[in-house]
């Protein structure tokens, strides 16, 4: 199992709007590619005056599925995101492999 994690620091002024958009628009589009089996929205617990930090974790079965997502869908979905939120909710991505669930 592969976890494709996007960490986002969301400006407080748009946090509620951003979260609604992620739940109702962006995440359903990503899951609609059928290349991911699930997604979770996680709030990073920290004392930050610069916003709220979230980690959105998508699970896929293989690196091949993630590579297909990257080649077929990622550019369009990232462009949509950046058009709306690039300055107020910057992101960085991490790819992890699940070694074992205990």
Q: Are 17 and 74 in contact (CB under 8 A)?
A: no
Q: Are 102 and 9 in contact (CB under 8 A)?
A: no
3-state SS class at 50: coil
The verdict on residue 102 lying in a domain is: no
CATH number for position 53: 3.30.70.100
Domain count, the chain: 1
- For residue 3 the two structure tokens come to 């976890």
Burial class of residue 58, CB neighbours in 10 A (0-12, 13-18, 19+) = buried
The tens digit of pLDDT for each residue in 4-63 reads 999 999 999 999 999 999 999 999 999 999 999 999 999 999 766 678 999 999 999 999
Quote the domain boundaries for residue 33: 2-97
- pLDDT computed for residue 48 by the predictor: 66
The verdict on residue 45 lying in a domain is: yes
- For residue 22 the two structure tokens come to 């992620």
The verdict on residue 72 lying in a domain is: yes
- pLDDT computed for residue 32 by the predictor: 98
For the entire predicted model, the pTM comes to 0.92
The verdict on residue 26 lying in a domain is: yes
Rounded Cα distance, 41 and 77, in Å: 17
């Amino acid at each position: 199992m592969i976890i494709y994690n996007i960490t986002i620091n969301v400006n407080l002024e748009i946090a509620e709007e951003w979260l609604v958009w992620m739940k109702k628009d962006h995440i359903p589009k990503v899951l609609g590619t059928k290349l991911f089996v699930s997604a979770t929205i996680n709030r990073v617990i920290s004392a930050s005056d610069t916003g709220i930090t979230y980690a959105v974790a998508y699970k896929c079965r293989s690196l091949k599925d993630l590579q297909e997502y990257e080649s077929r869908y990622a550019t369009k979905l990232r462009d949509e995101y950046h058009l709306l939120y690039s300055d107020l909710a910057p992101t960085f991505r991490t790819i992890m492999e699940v070694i074992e669930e205990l």
